[in-house]
Structure 1
């Protein structure tokens, strides 16, 4: 017995391409224009200025040690001659992470409030998290062509589930007693959400943000297979040409970016607790 699921998927993709191609083109141009503007602005800055700004962010959001590590590691990346590729990857990760959170956090809030939506999204999230990431590249290329845009789209799909799940988990773990207190003070649903639920769920939400960013980084090399520039393309070139040195330097730069973003996002929760 042969169940042609793949044939149904192909027909659905063809339907979308035949009827919504202008929409996909508009989305592609918008994302590409936004990324080009951000990338151009960051590359216009002198590298040292960019390093100092990122180090100050690390100091403000995390601590002094992470700030020192940030500026020293970025000097290493610059010394290896990978600064342009590093900035391209940084933009890809940040833009993908922002889109993942813009979609994921509201979806997590809605899923925690509506049981039917939760039941519908749970198997979809399971599919998104267990599907091999290479599979996302095929429809991304068909809809958006080759380049940065399909890399961003496939990265968003891959990195979004943790933001949804952990936001939903954090809101569901808010004690009922606190909600009863909010009701006793006459808080409306939106006031309850922003004054009680979200502050209590913030540690879980921050964990979701951290995981989404880390998953975005894990797609850097994979996205380079469909034309996404940056450090991933350097790693891919090193693999294709069997040049271990180039691949190692680019991989080390990816690790540096991962550590910087992980330490910054992972310590925001700590700073909040400390201020309280």
Structure 2
């Protein structure tokens, strides 16, 4: 039998040990710096989670309904929101849902803060796009469980490492769709802006970003969906909420608990998806009217 000429096992063990030891040495050397950098994120996450959990359910539901109505202007989506959130409350998952919403909110905000500038950079530079695209390909094809290994080694166990893992998983569509939206802006519009003497910065802020907003909103939609999907996996490293319940249901073979928590995640995902899609369509219609 002809075997593939693989690298010698001893060589592979030495190489793996060298890489692992180097990584652990880096973490030991800069652990205090890493903790200091992530501490504000921990404080913000704790504050938002406490706010969501301590707010009376009817107040939170009213605010959520107002936000959904403002985004969608669609009473069917508003009714879906009310039914979905009441279902979550009736089955006793309200507090866990608030924890999950806090984590998803923070993760989405971080993904937007990171993704939009990188998307703009890619849109303005073909060289940057050629460098960042392969990294995004790896991020999107790497199994989500693999993210947890370096995150745990660097940040330990807890909610902040979970948020970081969620952001790594969810940020690629934000970057890609921001880049795509800006690149799809009509060249004639850009030429008109140049004719009026717009600087590159003015052209970006006043023309390209407004016209790319519908596509950027699609990126935000995808980021939210992927954040919700990753919350369950991130529960393995200390993230609470609905993901923790799903993990416990898997470990203990609790079918009903698993399905109830799964349905709660699905309800939140559908609400966010419908509201953000409706808002994106409204933005697109507005843009077509203004620039049509």
Query: Number of aligned pairs?
Result: 276
Quick one: which of 185, 189, 210 aligns to 1:178? 189
The Cα shift of 1:7 comes to 5.0
Alignment match, 2:201: 190
SS across alignment from 1:146? coil
The Cα shift of 1:6 comes to 4.7
**What is the TM-score with the length of structure 1 in the denominator?**
0.95
Query: Residues of 1 paired with 2:83 and 2:149: CA distance?
Result: 38
Contact 2:213 2:283 in 1 (8 A): no
The Cα shift of 1:23 comes to 2.0
**Deviations 1:55-75, CA, capped at 9 Å, x for gaps:** 111111112111111112111
Distance 1:92 1:23, change over 3 A: same
Alignment partner of 1:224 is 2:235: yes
Alignment partner of 1:34 is 2:44: yes
The Cα shift of 1:30 comes to 1.9
Query: Residues of 2 paired with 1:198 and 1:156: CA distance?
Result: 23
The Cα shift of 1:264 comes to 1.5
- Which consecutive residues of structure 2, in runs of 5 or more, have no partner in the other structure? 1-5
Query: Residues of 1 paired with 2:17 and 2:201: CA distance?
Result: 45
Alignment partner of 1:238 is 2:249: yes
The Cα shift of 1:227 comes to 1.1
Alignment match, 2:269: 258
**Deviations 1:30-89, CA, capped at 9 Å, x for gaps:** 222111101111112100110111011111111211111111211110111111100000
SS across alignment from 1:170? helix
Contact 1:32 1:149 in 2 (8 A): yes
Quick one: which of 6, 24, 33 aligns to 1:14? 24
Q: Which runs of 4+ in 1 moved over 6 A?
A: none
Query: Residues of 1 paired with 2:272 and 2:22: CA distance?
Result: 38
Please tell me the root mean square deviation across aligned C-alpha atoms, in Å: 1.5
Q: How does 1:5-84 map to 2 (within 5 A)?
A: 6-7=16-17, 9-62=19-72, 63-84=74-95
Distance 1:50 1:125, change over 3 A: same
Contact 2:52 2:99 in 1 (8 A): no
Quick one: which of 69, 76, 101 aligns to 1:90? 101
Contact 2:182 2:212 in 1 (8 A): yes
Distance 1:123 1:55, change over 3 A: same
